Amino acid sequence: MEDTIVAISTSLGVGAISIVRVSGDEAIEIVNSIFSGHDLTKVNSHTVHYGYIKEDKKIIDEVLVTVMKAPKTFTREDVVEINCHGGIMTTKKVMELLIRKGCKVAEPGEFTKRAFLNGRIDLLEAEAVMDVIEAKTESNMSLALNQLTGSISNKIEDLRQEIVELLTFIEVSIDYPEYDEANLLTNDRLKNGVQNILKKIDIILKNSEDGIILKNGIKTIILGKPNVGKSSLLNTLLEEEKAIVTSIPGTTRDVVEGSINIGGIILDMMDTAGIRKTDDKIEEIGVKKSLDLISKANLILYLIDSSSYDKEDLELLKNIKDKKVIVVINKIDLNNDINIDIPYPIVKISAKEKIGIDELKDEITNLFNQNKLETKDLTYLTNARSIALLKQAKDSLQSSLECINNKMPTDISEIDLKEAWNLLGMIIGKTYEDELIDNLFSRFCLGK
Ligand SMILES: Nc1nc2c(ncn2[C@@H]2O[C@H](COP(=O)(O)OP(=O)(O)OP(=O)(O)O)[C@@H](O)[C@H]2O)c(=O)[nH]1
Ligand SMILES: [Mg+2]
């Protein structure tokens, strides 16, 4: 029999109420032993009862107790929640009493872990529970809630089912090898099947990229030659004089960071040293840092000074590949209108006079399709663990496709297909290792 666990499920501190949650076979009996008001062992499931928590005859707290019987509970075990008055002392006292009566203190995430182990939710949904708790913006929240409803889990399950069908097909063709013609058919059908699955995986991976960005924030670097107004733009966006601004080229040496929330997405910005060849040792290190950051960025705001624009301004841009870039033409208050022919969106601003800043923000939200992301069928994964597994599954499928293309015996592609099936199972927790599960749930907060 599993232990009956207890934890304070609300954050510790002074509040109107705090909730002590108990889960396990003995939950009702144990709480009943310190509760006076009703006999909780005789009440209906999902009912709330008023009474007192008592230690011997002494009243500890006046409480409301919710009794929820298995299996229709979060953990699928009997669950009792005690709503105490929100003081630290009383809540702790109630918890101590329960421990004395036989409850074990829950580990972080243990309630959710039980929900997973008892089949109430799968691994993706469990991770979503954590994301919901940690969500900092509305779009974070809708991403997490979407994962919690299981739509992505169903997609992964469908893919596994498609692989099982292919595997069955292979088995049949191995059992009846005398039909040469059938063999040819098998190859074609297998090829189509695997290609189909690969296409669907690619869509999920592409969507996941955007999802991850929304969840973690857009890593944005402000790049350009010295003195074009990078630090001024950072300050204007942050509405704070964070970076030093002077008219001396080469002012910024180290990376200056700051975050803003535009329309629900977090922009993590880094202002960098202006890019130029220099003999100054410190500045040279700064320039190197700026260049190194390019590979890590999700978005590059490439600044050009309209009052001193020359061909050199675009040199660096030529080396940037596969990145989202917005070219920002600054200092338009000086009335030096310039037109540049490049395949990136262009926004004209004055960082100093705060002109065009809203247009720049709009362009950023457009680029990341935020509105589309929120309304379309959201089937993406939002954590590194599951994305890595999906990529591995893709590799296995690609390797099976190669075997099929090279007309190798079907039982060889069967090995890769089985591996892909297994990896997809690991995403939703159909197959798992205890160590992984322990590690994952230990990242949860206490009482969840
Ligand atoms: N007229 C005008 N001047 C600006 C504008 N933005 C920045 N400046 C000026 O341009 C100069 C350089 O600005 P910074 O923000 O320090 O430029 P930077 O790109 O960070 O420069 P480095 O750190 O040296 O690479 C300062 O004198 C700013 O006041 C603008 O929109 N209009
Ligand atoms: Mg600067």
pLDDT, one tens digit per residue, over 9-31 is 887 767 788 999 999 999 999 99
Which residues partner with 304 through β-bridges? 329
Query: Which span out of 111-115, 317-321, 363-367 was modeled with the highest average pLDDT?
Result: 111-115
Mutate to test the pocket of ligand 1, among 221, 227, 302 (most ligand atoms within 8 A of CB): 227
The helix/strand/coil state of 336 is: coil
Residues 6 or more apart in contact with residue 316 via CB below 8 angstroms: 223, 275, 302
C-alpha of residue 326 to centroid of ligand 2, in Å: 18
C-alpha of residue 258 to centroid of ligand 1, in Å: 18
Q: Which of 192-201, 264-273, 354-363 comes out lowest in average pLDDT?
A: 264-273
Checking DSSP bridges between strand 265-271 and strand 256-262, what pairing results, if any? antiparallel
pLDDT, one tens digit per residue, over 151-204 is 788 889 999 999 998 988 887 777 666 655 555 567 888 999 999 999 999 988
Q: Label residue 102 exposed, middle or buried (CB < 10 Å: 0-12, 13-18, 19+).
A: middle
Amino acid 227: pLDDT: 93
> Which is higher by pLDDT, 369 or 109?
109
C-alpha of residue 101 to centroid of ligand 1, in Å: 68
Residue 16 CA to residue 35 CA, distance in Å, equals 21
Confidence bin at 304 (pLDDT 50/70/90)? very high
Q: Above 90 in pLDDT, residue 337? A: no
Which residues partner with 5 through β-bridges? 23, 104
Q: Are 98 and 20 in contact (CB under 8 A)?
A: yes
The finding on whether 229 has its CB within 6 A of some atom of ligand 1 is yes
Q: Are 258 and 231 in contact (CB under 8 A)?
A: no
Q: How far is CA 97 from CA 17, 37, 64, 327, in A?
A: 18, 17, 17, 64
Structural element, H or E, at residue 79: strand 79-85
| pTM for the predicted model, two decimal places | 0.62
Instruction: For each of the domains in the chain, give its residue range(s) and CATH number, in order of start.
Output: 5-121 (3.30.1360.120), 128-213+380-441 (1.20.120.430), 217-371 (3.40.50.300)
The finding on whether 335 has its CB within 6 A of some atom of ligand 1 is no
Mind giving me the DSSP string for 273-327?
A: PPP---S-HHHHHHHHHHHHHHTT-SEEEEEEETTS--GGGGHHHHT--SSEEEE
Q: Above 50 in pLDDT, residue 375? A: no
The finding on whether 242 has its CB within 6 A of some atom of ligand 1 is no
Amino acid 185: pLDDT: 63
> Which is higher by pLDDT, 135 or 194?
194
The helix/strand/coil state of 104 is: strand
Q: Above 50 in pLDDT, residue 262? A: yes
For the record, the structure tokens of 1 come out as: 């029999």
- Is the link from the previous residue into 249 a cis peptide, with omega within 30 of 0? no
